[in-house]
Amino acid sequence: MLGETFQKTFSPEVKFFLRSFHYLQIACQSTMSKSKRPSSVAPWARTLWIVPAFLFTVGLFSFIGSKVLGLNPADLHFQKSPFQEAVDSLFNLMGMVIVVGLYRRYLDRESFRSMGLYPKGFARESMAGIGLGALLIGGGFTVLVVVNQIQWRGFNWDGQNLLLGLCTFVLVACSEELFLRGYILNNLMKSMNPMVALLVSSVFFSLLHILNDNFSWLAFLNILLAGILIGQPYLYTKRLWLPIGLHLGWNFFQGPIFGFNVSGHVTSSLFTQSRTADTIWNGGPFGFEASVLSLVFQTMAIFGLWWYFRNKGKISSEEIVPAPVCQGSCDQT
């Protein structure tokens, strides 16, 4: 009876999402425990080892997602629908959870949660991050309208596409923060100065976008700064909630709300806008992340967060001490 009700109540798309999230939950639960044996691999080396596995696994799951949607995986410039973007992001997150979870458990020999998924601060830090992202993008949009770099054409309400856009960028924020801050930055902080670790992880974050349409040196610099801005709270809190919220707020308000292209990707949006011309001030077809104004706003935000956390306390040492490395046998006595 319950199965029949499920079949009649939900559309195939909703049932697909529910099943996928169920499998994702199983994958997360299977990687939560921490091994009793310390890792024999230095933390900095783990970040090198995971990169090829990350590229292969996420590429594989993206390929599977494209096949499920009936798309051609080789067509990198195909404009996906909002639903297709959400499904593709879901498959990317599934691949990310699997590869990061396996490496965390069997190479790092630490729990999945220890990357920064502690319950403390979840609601407060997530909402603070979303609010900061909205403030930065909203401020940039307002300035560009005032100086006539873009023109606001009105509203285009589409509740379904707005919800799908939110789902997409929640998934994107979770997958990228889990990998880049939760795994890469987490391990680098155990091997080098935290500020150097933040810079290295941010350079890698920017390089991941290098194949996006209309990528430029200014886009590279802006995304590098975005990596510093998003990763900075992790140095102090050792939790992923504020980085995830900030990443989500930045992308969601940039694309589905204010109508900028997001790292070169076109999205449907609540606000309809047009560029008076493609300039370094409005970012052109790559979006706000290729604009000089974004550079200014992010720099201000980085110094603002630095000032806030400096007054609040030093960089957190919780679970950031160098991981023990085996000298011979790691068996417990």
Report how far residue 244's alpha carbon sits from residue 241's, in angstroms, rounded to the nearest whole number: 5
Answer whether residue 288 shows pLDDT above 80: yes
Query: Each residue of 53-91: pLDDT tens digit?
Result: 999 998 899 889 888 888 877 666 677 889 999 999 999
- State residue 12's pLDDT score: 58
The whole-number pLDDT of residue 32 equals: 52
Torsion (CA) 87, 89, 95, 98 in degrees, nearest 10: -100
- Is 5's pLDDT higher than 90? no
Residue 300 clears pLDDT 70, i.e. is over it: yes
Which stretch of 212-216, 230-234, 329-333 has the lowest confidence by average pLDDT?
329-333
- The per-residue pLDDT for range 311-328, each reduced to its tens digit, is 876 565 444 444 444 444
135-167 core/surface letters (b: 16 or more CB in 10 A; e: else): ebbeebbeebeeeebbeeeeeeeeeebbebbbb
Rounded to an integer, the average pLDDT of 36-60 is 83
User: Across the strands, what pairs with 272?
Assistant: 154
Q: How far apart are CA 307 and CA 64, in angstroms?
A: 45
Mean pLDDT of the chain: 86
Confidence of residue 39 (pLDDT cuts 50, 70, 90): low
Q: What DSSP string describes 85-112?
A: HHHHHHHHHHHHHHHHHHHHHHTS-S-S
Tokens coding 213: 């349409």
CB 53 within 8 A of CB 184: no
Whether pLDDT at 331 is above 50: no
pLDDT at 77: 66
* Domain residue ranges of the chain, discontinuous segments joined by +: 12-312
Give residue 125's pLDDT: 97
**Residues 245-257, mean pLDDT to the nearest whole number:** 98
Tell me what pLDDT residue 329 has. 42
Q: Using alpha carbons, select from 196, 205, 204, 226 the residue that is nearest to residue 290.
A: 226
- Alpha helix stretches (DSSP H) within 119-238: 122-146, 159-177, 186-188, 194-207, 217-237
Cα distances (angstroms) measured from residue 309 to each of 27, 122, 225, 296, 317: 34, 18, 18, 20, 14
Torsional sign, CA 228, 231, 232, 235: negative
* Complete DSSP assignment for 207-235: HTTTTSTT--HHHHHHHHHHHHHHHHHHH
pLDDT in tens, 10-37: 455 545 554 554 555 555 554 455 555 6
CA atoms within 13 A on the CB side of 159: 0
Percent of the chain predicted with pLDDT > 70: 80
Per-residue confidence (pLDDT) for residue 325, from 0 to 100: 44
Q: Pick 39 or 256 by higher pLDDT.
A: 256
pLDDT of amino acid 312? 78
268-297 per-residue burial string, b: 16 or more CB within 10 A, e: under 16: bbbbebebeeeeebbbbebbbbbbebbbeb
| pLDDT at residue 38, rounded to an integer | 60
